[in-house]
């Protein structure tokens, strides 16, 4: 890729288990963009942007907000916790970032995270037996999407209409209190929730819009980035179910979470960490709990941006990542955190999975019972010792780093177009 000017409309998608560096790449591509749209997930996301050494972590707000000329849109597929969103907006304001209804628009069809969603998330995790806990972020994501699917959910246009909101809240409280009673938990206070949420409604009202026409118009004449949250292996359909999130983090989420048609996307940028991390429970074939895994965790500061939990780390998995590339139709890969691998004598790449019958497969499976039967097969390549954070051209990378990337490109089956060698906006370069 010679320039990022021609990539729009583009989607940024995580290809692993999240935290690939989506926020950083979105911020970078904003150089030539006009609009950034979130389309799924909620404040389970934590997207980090580092500008001149200053770190900002965004949860609901799209990663274009730090640039004054970008319009940010929270699409209909997103789930929003109004209390936390308002805190996020306050935090941005305190850091000198102006957020107004001109640069932040929220779909009035997005679903609202209610106090009982957060409570249910917590209670269900606590009640789950060992081995069945998902390790959620505790933000109420599963329960809010459950209510969406069961048609009980509250959308912002319900919240904005006092009568509608009271009615839907009442039905929900009755239903939820039945469950709470069975759990021996005290019931919900309907009036208290109503009063609290009316305050949020009044504060958020100016940001509300039906965003479907707005986005369809925008993709015709503006440079739009669709910003994914989570990663494809956490996708509710294609991820390692049930150890997944509750939305479509893969490409399909763009369309149902924004209302733009599939033929409008020009580029599908897959964000690929140079190794793999995962927060929370669930299978992770190339996980390394010692040695290189500890190096990645320490050097890569692999602690969750949302919950602060240590991230599990492991070798690059070409099978899992290749599966994501296939599902999403990735046109360009952005490799992140290559710098973190500096100092490892040798690197391993998972190039296949060996089954109990000794056969090696190149296919990933979202069936975790089957996945658990596989042993990763590794190819070992030499590492490099040099600090590469100052490199700005592929040819200046150590030869072994070049070989590593060429190998990943070949194994993943997608072209590497962007390389990131540090958290800062400037620590990035394009590759032909």
Judged by beta carbon distances under 5 to 8 A according to partner kind, the member of ligand IMO, ligand GDP, Mg ion, none in contact with residue 337 is: ligand GDP
CB neighbours of residue 142 within 10 Å: 22
The item of ligand GDP, ligand IMO, Mg ion, none sharing an interface with residue 80, based on CB under 5 to 8 Å by kind, is none
- The distance of closest approach from Cβ of residue 208 to ligand GDP in the complex, given in angstroms and rounded to an integer, is 26
Helices (H), 96-223: 115-127, 141-149, 156-159, 162-182, 190-204, 211-221
- Based on CB atoms, which residue is closest to ligand IMO, 103 or 137? 137
Q: Does 47 qualify as catalytic in the annotation?
A: yes
Token pair 């479509």 is found at 248
Q: Where are the alpha helices (DSSP H) in 249-365?
A: 252-256, 292-299, 318-328
> Residue 60 catalytic?
no
Cα separation, 308 vs 306, in Å, equals: 6
Q: Which of 194, 215, 205 is nearest to 157 (CA)?
A: 205
Nearer to Mg ion, 213 or 303 (CB): 303
Query: 406 and 338 in contact (C-beta within 8 Å)?
Result: no
Binding of ligand GDP at residue 348 (CB under 6 A)?
no
20 contributes a contact to ligand GDP by CB under 6 A: yes
**Residue 156 three-state SS:** helix
Q: Which two tokens stand for residue 178?
A: 């039945």
Site string for ligand GDP, 292-311 (x = CB under 6 A): --------xx---x------
Residue 87: other Cβ atoms inside 10 A = 14
Do the beta carbons of residue 342 and residue 386 sit within 8 Å?
yes
- Please pick, from the candidates 232, 247, 331, 336, the single residue that binds ligand GDP as defined by CB under 6 A: 336
Q: Does 423 bind ligand GDP (CB under 6 A)?
A: yes
- Binding footprint of Mg ion, residue count (CB under 5 A): 3
What mask, x for binding Mg ion by CB under 5 A, covers residues 296 to 325? ---------x--------------------
The tokens describing 291, both together, are 């040695």
Q: In sequence order, which residues have a C-beta less than 8 Å from that of residue 344 and are 6 or more positions away?
A: 292, 295, 383
Q: Which is nearer to Mg ion, 34 or 307 (CB)?
A: 307
The answer to whether residues 78 and 41 touch, using CB atoms and an 8 Å cutoff, is yes
Contact 140, 117 (CB under 8 A): yes
Angle formed by the axes of helices 190-204 and 82-94, to 10°? Answer: 40
Residues of span 322-381 touching Mg ion by CB under 5 A: none
**Residue 282 binding Mg ion, by CB under 5 A:** no
From the list ligand GDP, ligand IMO, Mg ion, none, pick the one residue 137 interacts with, judged by a Cβ distance below 5 to 8 Å according to partner type: ligand IMO
Active-site residue among 27, 47, 111, 332?
47
Q: Which of 81, 88, 332, 339 binds ligand GDP (CB under 6 A)?
A: 339
Distance, first Cα to last Cα, the chain: 5
Q: Which of 8, 13, 15, 21 is close enough to bind ligand GDP by CB under 6 A? A: 21
Query: Which residues are at the interface with ligand IMO (CB under 6 A)?
Result: 14, 18-19, 44-47, 134-137, 139, 141-142, 229-231, 234, 245-246, 279-280, 305
For the annotated catalytic residues, the residue numbers are 19, 47
Residue ranges that bind Mg ion, judged by CB under 5 A = 19, 46, 305
Residue ranges that bind ligand GDP, judged by CB under 6 A = 14, 18-24, 46-48, 50, 300-301, 305, 336-337, 339-340, 420-423
């Amino acid at each position: 890729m010679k320039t990022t000017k021609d990539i729009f409309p583009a989607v940024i998608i995580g290809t692993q288990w999240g935290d690939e560096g989506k926020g950083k790449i979105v911020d970078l591509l904003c150089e030539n963009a006009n609009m950034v749209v979130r389309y799924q997930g909620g404040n389970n996301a934590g997207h980090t942007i580092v500008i001149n050494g200053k770190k900002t972590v965004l949860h609901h707000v799209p990663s274009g907000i730090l640039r004054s000329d970008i319009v940010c849109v929270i699409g209909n597929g997103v789930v929003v916790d109004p209390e936390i969103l308002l805190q996020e907006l306050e935090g941005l304001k305190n850091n000198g970032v102006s957020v107004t209804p001109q640069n932040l628009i929220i779909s009035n069809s997005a679903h609202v995270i209610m106090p009982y969603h957060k409570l249910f998330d917590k209670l269900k995790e606590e009640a789950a037996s060992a081995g069945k806990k998902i390790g959620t972020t505790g933000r109420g994501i599963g329960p809010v999407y459950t209510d969406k699917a069961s048609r009980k959910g509250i959308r912002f246009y319900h919240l904005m209409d006092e009568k509608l909101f009271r009615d839907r809240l009442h039905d929900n409280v009755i239903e939820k209190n039945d469950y709470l009673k069975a759990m021996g938990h005290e019931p919900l206070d309907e009036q208290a929730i109503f009063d609290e949420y009316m305050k949020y409604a009044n504060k958020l009202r100016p940001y509300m819009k039906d965003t479907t026409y707005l986005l369809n118009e925008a993709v015709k004449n503006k440079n739009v980035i669709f910003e994914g949250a989570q990663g494809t292996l956490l996708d509710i359909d294609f991820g390692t179910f049930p150890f997944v999130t509750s939305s479509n983090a893969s490409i399909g989420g763009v369309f149902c979470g924004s209302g733009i048609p599939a033929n409008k996307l020009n580029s599908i940028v897959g964000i690929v960490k140079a190794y793999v991390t995962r927060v929370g429970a669930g299978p992770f074939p190339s996980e390394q709990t010692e040695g290189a895994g500890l190096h990645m965790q320490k050097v890569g500061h692999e602690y969750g941006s949302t919950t602060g939990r240590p991230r599990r780390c492991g070798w690059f998995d070409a099978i899992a990542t290749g599966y994501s590339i296939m599902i999403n139709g990735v046109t360009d890969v952005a490799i992140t955190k290559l710098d973190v691998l500096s100092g490892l004598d040798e690197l391993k790449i998972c190039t296949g999975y060996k089954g109990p019958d000794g056969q090696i497969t190149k296919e990933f499976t979202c069936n975790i019972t089957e996945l658990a039967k596989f042993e990763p097969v590794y190819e070992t390549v030499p590492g490099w010792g040099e600090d590469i954070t100052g490199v700005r051209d592929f040819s200046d990378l150590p030869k072994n780093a070049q070989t590593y990337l060429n190998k990943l490109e070949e194994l993943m089956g997608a072209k590497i177009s962007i390389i990131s060698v540090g958290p800062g906006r400037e620590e990035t370069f394009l590759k032909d």
